[in-house]
Amino acid sequence: MSVLLFQQPLRLRVLVLAVTVLTAALLVFYSVPLPPSIDVGRVIFWIVVTLVASGQPVYLPRGVNVSVNSAPLIAALFDAALPRPFAPLWIAAIGTLQLRDIRGELPLYGTLYNRATFVLSVLAGWYAIEWTGVGASGADPIELLPQLFAAGLAYSLVNQILASAAASVRTGIEFQRVWTASFRQVWTGLIALVPMGWLMAEVAGKVGLWAGGLFMVPLLLARYSFSKYAETRDLFFGSVSALSQAIDAKDGFTRGHADRVSRIAGAVAREMGLSEPIIEQIELAALLHDIGKIGVEDRILMKPTRLEPDENELMRRHPIYGASILEPSSALRPLAPIVLAHHENYDGTGYPNGLKGDEIPVGARIILVSDAYEAMTSDRIYRRAIGHERAIEQLNKYKGIQFDPKVVRALDTLLKKRGAAAFEVSDLPVIEYETLAELRQRLAQKPTLSDAHAG
Ligand SMILES: [Fe+2]
């Protein structure tokens, strides 16, 4: 793969150039003149340990990857037998190389930026050690603990800010979103690697380098647990997405209806300033909001004409069915109250409980507006979209009655900022077969073969 930096967006070019030039300057500054005595074998040992720990990174959502190399890098920072910060900086620059860098699977600027990230993180850790001002080995625990904490925090913050900034600029996803989605769950794990790094340095110093190397076992176990976290998350989101497409198919929507509702709801929630964990919950609930329709007969679900009162009564049960489908699963249970309330109207005239205003969970209020907007702006089986302008007009007309005015305002602002086509781009693959919805549409328009013979 050959991607040149000058073909990249300006923000990425500025970020990469600024960070790599700064790092190169700092490396030269700390390497000239060379420290008087360097234990080359010791430096190579830490480089090798770091290389092993850097291998096979765990890929987290939104383009960030994590490895357990912070432990040996912190260990090098605390190893008093090394010339510091000279040796730890070079261990960070060389030891964090991965196979994909050597094989050229990453563009060169990516490889340089990643090295720079580690060098700057290690330097931040070193300054934290210097400023907290205690010698590492044999220090009083009362003095050592804050020093360890400061070094770990400085290292982790610089590392995560730089990694998230690059991923955000590259993928176009807001910085805060990358930061939260990627690091919220592994933050504790990364902080736990810092004391292990210090212990590695202590053992390597007092028992011998070979004993420090034994720490590779718990380190690789930690890596394994990160990879299990990433796999579980993928599996969960993949299953929810598959389920939501199954609901779309059964409901007669074109594929991707729930996906679009989910993206609109997520963006509106973010515009309203809700926290990232809540936004994620709302996005998931939006994907599954109509899951209760599984419990509604096809005869009613597919009926092209107006529903009779008794049929309507059955249809109006789908939020209750939905909540009870989600309830038994511990991962999906938090979505149940949102799904249960997704047809509650702002003025209390909705169903199933007739909740009013702020009694309705905010996620449900957002989904109601997003679902209505999506339905009005995309074609359905028996009618065509009414268009963006008229959709907004309708939402404004019914705000305070059916819709929460705050939510409608947020969607309005968002669409003014991003334009009407903002939610068309999806991660779902393009469909190359005739969907159930399209088939039904075709059959409804053309008489079938048996109909033709019947006459
Ligand atoms: Fe619904």
- At 300-318, the pLDDT tens digits run 887 778 888 999 999 999 9
Ligand 1 center to residue 22 CA distance, Å? 54
Q: Domain boundaries in the chain?
A: 5-233, 252-424
Ligand 1 center to residue 446 CA distance, Å? 29
pLDDT 10s digits, 156-206: 889 888 988 888 888 777 788 777 766 665 566 567 778 888 899 999 989
Ligand 1 center to residue 191 CA distance, Å? 43
Ligand 1 center to residue 433 CA distance, Å? 26
Ligand 1 center to residue 123 CA distance, Å? 54
Ligand 1 center to residue 249 CA distance, Å? 14
Name the fold adopted by 252-424.
Answer: Hypothetical protein af1432 (1.10.3210)
Ligand 1 center to residue 343 CA distance, Å? 6
Ligand 1 center to residue 381 CA distance, Å? 17
Residue 383, C-beta contacts closer than 8 angstroms, at least 6 positions apart: none
Ligand 1 center to residue 369 CA distance, Å? 12
Ligand 1 center to residue 345 CA distance, Å? 12
Cβ neighbour number for residue 255 with a 10 Å cutoff = 17
Lowest mean pLDDT among 46-60, 104-118, 177-191, 379-393: 177-191
Ligand 1 center to residue 339 CA distance, Å? 8
- Alpha-carbon gap, residue 324 to 291, rounded angstroms: 10
* Residue 172 burial by Cβ neighbours in a 10 Å radius (0-12, 13-18, 19+): exposed
Residue 350, C-beta contacts closer than 8 angstroms, at least 6 positions apart: 343, 344, 360, 402
- Looking at residue 452, its pLDDT comes to 40
Ligand 1 center to residue 388 CA distance, Å? 21
- Alpha-carbon gap, residue 204 to 92, rounded angstroms: 18
Ligand 1 center to residue 317 CA distance, Å? 9
The residue among 294 and 57 whose pLDDT is bigger is 294
Ligand 1 center to residue 342 CA distance, Å? 6
Q: Residue 64 in 3-state DSSP? A: strand
Residue 150 pLDDT class (50, 70, 90 cuts): confident
Closest to 202 measured CA to CA, from 218, 188, 215: 215
- Alpha-carbon gap, residue 410 to 412, rounded angstroms: 5
Check residue 297 and report its DSSP letter. Answer: -
- Looking at residue 163, its pLDDT comes to 85
Ligand 1 center to residue 13 CA distance, Å? 45
Q: Residue 59 in 3-state DSSP? A: strand
- Tell me the average pLDDT across 100-112: 86
φ, ψ dihedrals at 121, nearest 5°: -65, -45
- Looking at residue 36, its pLDDT comes to 86
Ligand 1 center to residue 292 CA distance, Å? 8
- Alpha-carbon gap, residue 291 to 49, rounded angstroms: 50
- Looking at residue 46, its pLDDT comes to 94
Ligand 1 center to residue 139 CA distance, Å? 63
Ligand 1 center to residue 262 CA distance, Å? 13
Ligand 1 center to residue 442 CA distance, Å? 25
* Residue 3 burial by Cβ neighbours in a 10 Å radius (0-12, 13-18, 19+): exposed
- Tell me the average pLDDT across 377-383: 63
Cβ–Cβ under 8 Å, residues 18 and 182: no
Ligand 1 center to residue 286 CA distance, Å? 10
Whether the pLDDT of residue 127 is over 70: the answer is yes
Ligand 1 center to residue 180 CA distance, Å? 30
The number of residues in the chain equals 455
What's the mean per-residue pLDDT of the chain? 84
Tokens (6 digits) for 57: 């990174």
The residue among 345 and 179 whose pLDDT is bigger is 345
- Looking at residue 27, its pLDDT comes to 94
Whether the pLDDT of residue 112 is over 70: the answer is yes
Ligand 1 center to residue 367 CA distance, Å? 9
Ligand 1 center to residue 362 CA distance, Å? 16
Q: Is the dihedral of CA 113, 119, 122, 128 positive or negative?
A: negative
Ligand 1 center to residue 29 CA distance, Å? 63
Ligand 1 center to residue 415 CA distance, Å? 23
- % residues pLDDT > 70 (the chain): 84
Cβ–Cβ under 8 Å, residues 174 and 63: no
Residue 61 pLDDT class (50, 70, 90 cuts): low
Q: Is the dihedral of CA 75, 78, 83, 88 positive or negative?
A: positive
Ligand 1 center to residue 319 CA distance, Å? 6
- Alpha-carbon gap, residue 331 to 104, rounded angstroms: 39
* Helix or strand (DSSP H, E) at 159: helix 141-171
- Looking at residue 455, its pLDDT comes to 35
Ligand 1 center to residue 151 CA distance, Å? 51
Residue 238, C-beta contacts closer than 8 angstroms, at least 6 positions apart: none
Ligand 1 center to residue 293 CA distance, Å? 8
- Alpha-carbon gap, residue 85 to 129, rounded angstroms: 11
pLDDT 10s digits, 243-289: 998 888 877 666 678 888 999 999 999 999 998 889 999 999 999 99
Cβ–Cβ under 8 Å, residues 122 and 69: no
pTM of the model: 0.73
Whether the pLDDT of residue 102 is over 90: the answer is no
Whether the pLDDT of residue 322 is over 80: the answer is yes
Closest to 86 measured CA to CA, from 53, 122, 130, 50: 122
Ligand 1 center to residue 334 CA distance, Å? 18
